[in-house]
Structure 1
Amino acid sequence: MSTTLRNTTINPDALTPAAKLRLIDELHATHTKMFDGVSKRAFADHVVNSPADRTRIQIFRAGDRLVGYLAVHTFARIIAGERWVVVRGETGKLPAYRRRANGNLLISEILRACLRHPRARKAFLGCFVHPSAYVALAHVAPQIYPHWDEPTDPEIHAVMARLADEFGLEPAEAGRQGVRNVGWITRETQAERDSWARRDDPMTRLFMTQNPSYAAGHGLLVLVPLHLRNLVGGVSLHVHRELCRRLRGVRSNAQAGARKLVV
């Protein structure tokens, strides 16, 4: 897919009611091509009308067509007597555009949270309903829980559970630690689901082992501690992966051009 993507970042709280409704309609229309299990009202309450202290939504367009979005929410709360700043998010892109990089808004919002709240405990809290989300974040997060190589400390598990309860994420299955009911179901074919099940990389295996019922809309709790050292490391990994991806694209195009010349 060679069409150049344009992205625009929106503050939904700055929109007029009519403009916000148009945004909800357009976002939800694209969202339903990627996910099942969520009504337009629930989607709007979660993504556009979030109770977060700050929300920014980056939308991606190919021409005039909306093909994806990234919503980032920042919550400042007192949890169990401690000051917390928790960053959360939702994202989705149509299949043809999923290999395009889209982490810039998340990086900038995390940097803002680190600078504006230096003394608060800070974390990114995800509840991932598909292995691709965990794998993508694990590649660029210097510190992530759960981790495929290291067991999660019971204290970290307790923090994750406390934060999940704070955000109303109900346990999905009795006895399965770290799995919560989200209700968003990724649209994928059985062949795609089988392909993920056959993968043997450690990141995918961790997700599939801990959240085998993701196809029912269950999410795996994921915690990334936020501080400047982790942010610098994460940005470095993100830039490295993006450069490698672009180099692979250049080589692929060059090889395709060479084959045409030979023919």
Structure 2
Amino acid sequence: MTLKYSVLASGSTGNAIYIETEQKKLLIDCGLSGRKMTHLFNKIGKDPQDLDAILVTHEHSDHIKGLGVFARRYKTPIYANAKTWQAMSSIIGDISVDQKFTFETGTTKAFGDIEAESFGVSHDAADPMFFVFHAGGKKLTLLTDLGYVSDRIKGIIKHSNAYIIESNHDIQMLMMGRYPWNIKRRILGDSGHISNEDAGLALSEVVGNETKSIYLAHLSKDNNMKELARMSVQQKLEQYGIKIGEHMSIYDTDPETPTALAAI
């Protein structure tokens, strides 16, 4: 069995991840307009009409901006935990009862041959959760929007075949940048976002022999650069004896352009 995935878009302006197996096609988050989302699907040669479900991580706008329009257009079922449903209901508009499903934090739900394992994270949303997807003995971790990577989370995501992980900011760029101090404090805090160095450090503790791909996601457009994120994470991994290039690769993600459909 093959698990395929594409980071359709990632960044402070919008986030969406697509995954599929032979049996099921899932979208995680829908943070761009309905029209842009359809365009992104076209770019990877997929039809949104074929989606089996949309999973929602949390209610921030860069994760649900197009959710209501998109789900109504394609009649797609939506899965979110109770607190997220409560927080986003007034934002996404009316959703048909037969499209609304609850997927609680800390539980595992089967979608055909995909098992989605949810876990809570520290972020300033109602009840933010992310996922490890299991299919055919393979493991894909999606982890963005968190203030720190706890030991509990490291245990859940350890030895994944691929990681889509936040590498939000370079601390020096953030501190020297134009953001007011209260925003900087929020980003740097335990319920904000993790830096390039934090991402590299967390990865150094969880990657295994079967880890082939690392996608650096949710980069700040003001406080980071792709090259800097990649270099910082690679340096941190190599500091711990983990070589990039031979058996493991680091990939960029983009707010506008999907990554090529990859398989594990």
The alignment's TM-score, normalised by the length of structure 1, stands at 0.34
Higher helix share: 1
Structure showing greater Rg? 1
